[in-house]
């Protein structure tokens, strides 16, 4: 419910940026059976971002992929929080250091105000890791999750 209908809700990304990110997700998933999603919201107050990412991963039913190889990139814009959560299939292959490095790349881009480029770069990196460990099989693979950005409150 919008209590103040005259106030326009601020968009996190322009239409062009949304398209660039969705295209990066499609490209990342093009050669893998893995799945990548981006969840963006304004606040992550009083919660550790990895805990929030874990909660959202479950709510979005991302753990239901056949090979347990889905990855959620989580960003809380106003609170400047982020996390990357990989399901057990991909996590066992790449390990915690990989996720830490990807978070650092994202932070470096964000610190330079290159939000869309940073997100795109990390999504493509994740796609490469997924491709290395879960290559695409055109007989059995299908897109199990939507490619669009998921926006929270």
Every domain of the chain and the residues it spans: 15-129
Pairing of strands 70-76, 81-86: antiparallel
Is residue 140 very low, low, confident or very high in pLDDT (cuts 50, 70, 90)? confident
pLDDT tens across 28-52, in order? Answer: 999 899 999 999 999 987 889 999 9
Which structure tokens are listed for 98?
């990989």
pLDDT of residue 32: 93
Dist CA 146 CA 86 (whole Å): 17
CATH top-level class for 15-129? Answer: alpha beta
Distance CA 57, CA 51 (A): 10
């Amino acid at each position: 419910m919008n209590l103040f209908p005259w106030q326009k809700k601020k968009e996190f990304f322009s239409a062009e940026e949304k398209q660039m990110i969705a295209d990066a997700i499609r490209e990342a998933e093009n050669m893998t059976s893995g799945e990548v999603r981006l969840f963006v919201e304004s606040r992550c107050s009083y919660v550790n971002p990895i805990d929030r990412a874990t909660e959202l991963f479950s709510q979005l039913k991302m753990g239901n992929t056949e090979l347990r190889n889905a990855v959620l990139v989580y960003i809380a814009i106003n609170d400047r929080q982020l996390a990357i959560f990989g399901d057990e299939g991909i996590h066992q292959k790449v390990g915690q250091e990989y996720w830490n490095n990807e978070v650092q790349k994202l932070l470096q881009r964000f610190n330079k105000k290159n939000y869309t480029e940073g997100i795109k770069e990390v999504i493509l990196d994740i796609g490469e890791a997924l491709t290395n460990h879960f290559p695409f099989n055109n007989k059995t693979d299908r897109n199990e999750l939507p490619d669009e950005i998921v926006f929270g409150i």
